[in-house]
Amino acid sequence: MSPSTSPASTCHNCHTDAPGNFCSACGQSTVLHVPSAREFLHEFVAHYVALEGKLWRTLALLLFRPGALTNEYIAGRRVRYVEPLRVYLTFSILFFAILKFGSPDLFLTVHSQQPQASAHAPSQTPENNAPDMQVSILGQTPTLPHQWQDFQQLPVAGKQKLIRESFFHYAPYAMFGLMPLFALFLKILYLGSGRRYGEHFLFALHTNAFAFITMALMTVIPVDIVRLALGAWLLGYLPWAMWRVYPSGKLATVCRWLVLMAAYALAMSLAIVACIATGVMLRH
């Protein structure tokens, strides 16, 4: 072997004697060389995208067996699947990227509440013709800060652009920030079950990752029957997963699911409003 591909007798990472091809202390390879572009690509695919079996096994359970992936992780069978946090982050980023670049007019419309000028109506001066635009998702408040007044002065296109940019800038962070709250709701709903908070958080990551995958597919597939089927599966997935992970009666599971959805929908709505308001207030 050439010097660049010969195993070193001492590990370059932890300086432990390593006569073989791998260090027994830290596991690093003792055969060091400058990696090629192909090796960089293989490392990215294997470790970040995890296409070497892990991703497909994870997706199979996540998509078609509600709650099974969470039960596998709790049971200790973890190395064969992609880590829960990586699953959530990957599909969260994928969903928001698809939503941003694939459906530019999917949400948040800005409308004018100013009546159309009549041909016989008296003309208004600029001082009296104050903008009467408002964003339907935010509404109006009695006392508006300076930034909000500036926002009200923007044309419709400017408002739409600012709302859109604010949403996509802050919403991914807000949605991830809601995961502990989702887990807290589950903790409260299943008091006395013996489940630890970490198990609820694990369940939150898996179920929300599934929701991101499903909504991404609904966004990119322009077939009504497929979107209808995906929507029905999205609706029924969570109570089914709850029933499998938290064994209880079906009626009790449905009741808990309804309470969970009501609480989470309220929290998510407030988070989205906060994202847009933050973008408006920080525009300067």
Contacts of 191 (CB under 8 A, 6+ apart): none
Helix/strand/coil (H, E, C) string of the chain? CCHHHCCCCECCCCCCECCCCECCCCCCECCCCCCCHHHHHHHHHHHHHCCCCHHHHHHHHHHHCCCHHHHHHHCCCCCCCCCHHHHHHHHHHHHHHHHHHHCCCCCCCEEECCCCCCCCCCCCCCCCCCCCEEECCCCCCCCCCHHHHHHHHCCHHHHHHHHHHHHHHHHHHHHHHHHHHHHHHHHHHCCCCCCCHHHHHHHHHHHHHHHHHHHHHHHHCCCHHHHHHHHHHHHHHHHHHHHHHCCCCHHHHHHHHHHHHHHHHHHHHHHHHHHHHHHHHCCC
Average pLDDT of the residues in 108-132: 45
Neighbouring-strand partners of residue 111: 134
User: Cβ(68)–Cβ(244) under 8 Å?
Assistant: yes
User: Where residue 1 falls among pLDDT bands split at 50, 70, 90?
Assistant: very low
Whether pLDDT at 186 is above 80: yes
Residue 117: count of CB within 10 angstroms of its CB: 11
pLDDT at residue number 241: 95
pLDDT at residue number 150: 61
pLDDT at residue number 204: 95
What spatial distance separates the first Cα and last Cα of the chain, rounded to whole Å? 62
User: Where residue 3 falls among pLDDT bands split at 50, 70, 90?
Assistant: very low
Whether pLDDT at 106 is above 70: no
pLDDT tens digit string along 133-163? 444 444 444 444 555 566 656 666 766 666 6
User: Where residue 19 falls among pLDDT bands split at 50, 70, 90?
Assistant: confident
Whether pLDDT at 197 is above 50: yes
The rounded mean pLDDT for the chain is 77
The C-alpha atoms of residue 68 and residue 57 are separated, in whole angstroms, by 11
pLDDT tens digit string along 252-280? 999 999 999 999 999 988 888 877 777 66
Instruction: Enter the pTM of the model.
Output: 0.68
pLDDT tens digit string along 23-78? 877 877 777 666 677 766 666 665 555 455 788 889 999 999 999 999 999 998 88
User: Cβ(62)–Cβ(54) under 8 Å?
Assistant: no
171, burial (CB in 10 Å: exposed 0-12, middle 13-18, buried 19+): buried
The C-alpha atoms of residue 152 and residue 142 are separated, in whole angstroms, by 14
